[in-house]
Structure 1
Amino acid sequence: MEFQLWRNATVLVSIDNIKFLVDPMLGEKSSFGAFPYTEDPRANPLVDLPFSGKALRKQLQELDAVVVTHLHPDHWDAAAVQLLDKKLPIICPEIIAKTIVAYGFTKVIPVASSIHFKGIEIVLTEGKHGTGAIEEKMGVVNGFVCSSKNESIYFAGDTIWCDAVKSSIGTYQPRYVVVAGGAATFAIGEPVTMSVEHLNSLAATFPEITIIITHLEAVSPCTEDREFIRKEMAKNGLSDRCLIPKDGAHYSFH
Structure 2
Amino acid sequence: MKLTQIRNATLKLEYAGVRFLIDPMFADKDAWPGFPGSARAHLRNPLVPLPLSIDELLDVDIIIVTHTHQDHWDEAAQQRIPKDHLIYTQNERDATLLRSQGFSQVQALAAENNIAGMIISKTEGQHGSDEAYAIPAVAERLGDACGLVFRHENEQTLYIAGDTVWVKPYVDSLNTFTPEVIVLNIGCATLDGLGAIIMGKEDALRTHQRLPAAMIVASHMEAVNHCLLSRKELREFAAGQGLEHQILVPEDGETLSF
TM-score scaled by length of structure 1? 0.94
Indicate the residue corresponding to 1:140 in structure 2.
144
Indicate the residue corresponding to 2:34 in structure 1.
34
Indicate the residue corresponding to 1:22 in structure 2.
22
Contact residue 112 and residue 124 of structure 1 kept, 8 A: yes
Indicate the residue corresponding to 2:111 in structure 1.
113
- Displacement of 1:140 after TM fit? 1.1
Indicate the residue corresponding to 1:230 in structure 2.
235
Contact residue 114 and residue 121 of structure 1 kept, 8 A: yes
| Corresponding position: 1:83 with 2:84 | no
Give the secondary structure class of the aligned counterpart of 1:63: coil
Q: Which amino acid aligns with 2:82?
A: D
Give the secondary structure class of the aligned counterpart of 1:42: coil
Distance in 1 separating the partners of 2:57 and 2:220: 21
Distance in 2 separating the partners of 1:30 and 1:122: 34
> 1:4-40: CA deviations, max 9, x gaps?
1110110000011200000001111112221022252
The number of residues matched between the two structures is: 249
Equivalent of residue 173 in structure 1, options 174, 178, 194: 178
Q: Which moved more, 1:29-38 or 1:128-137?
A: 128-137
**Structure 1 58/130 Cα, relative in aligned 2: closer, same or farther at 3 Å?**
closer
Contact residue 222 and residue 231 of structure 2 kept, 8 A: yes
Contact residue 32 and residue 73 of structure 1 kept, 8 A: no
- Displacement of 1:150 after TM fit? 2.2
Give the secondary structure class of the aligned counterpart of 1:105: coil
Distance in 1 separating the partners of 2:100 and 2:119: 26
Contact residue 125 and residue 143 of structure 1 kept, 8 A: yes
Cα RMSD (Å): 1.3
Give the secondary structure class of the aligned counterpart of 2:127: coil
Q: Which amino acid aligns with 1:75?
A: H
Equivalent of residue 150 in structure 1, options 148, 154, 158: 154
Identity %: 34
Distance in 2 separating the partners of 1:35 and 1:79: 17
Indicate the residue corresponding to 1:68 in structure 2.
65
- Displacement of 1:133 after TM fit? 4.1
> 1:55-108: CA deviations, max 9, x gaps?
x21441x21110111111110000111111111110111131111111111111
Indicate the residue corresponding to 1:92 in structure 2.
89
> 1:117-162: CA deviations, max 9, x gaps?
1112111100111113434241111111112122221110011122
After superposition, where does 1:186-197 map in structure 2 within 5 Å?
186-197=191-202
Indicate the residue corresponding to 2:136 in structure 1.
none
Give the secondary structure class of the aligned counterpart of 1:29: coil
Q: Which runs of 5+ in 2 are unaligned?
A: 134-138
Indicate the residue corresponding to 1:102 in structure 2.
100
- Displacement of 1:178 after TM fit? 0.5
Q: Which amino acid aligns with 1:128?
A: Q
TM-score scaled by length of structure 2? 0.93
Indicate the residue corresponding to 1:6 in structure 2.
6
Contact residue 132 and residue 189 of structure 1 kept, 8 A: no
Q: Which amino acid aligns with 2:252?
A: D
Give the secondary structure class of the aligned counterpart of 1:41: coil
Q: Which runs of 5+ in 1 are unaligned?
A: none
Indicate the residue corresponding to 1:43 in structure 2.
44
Distance in 2 separating the partners of 1:47 and 1:70: 21
**Structure 1 58/199 Cα, relative in aligned 2: closer, same or farther at 3 Å?**
closer
Distance in 2 separating the partners of 1:34 and 1:149: 43
Give 4+ residue runs of structure 1 displaced > 4 Å after superposition.
none
Distance in 2 separating the partners of 1:156 and 1:235: 24
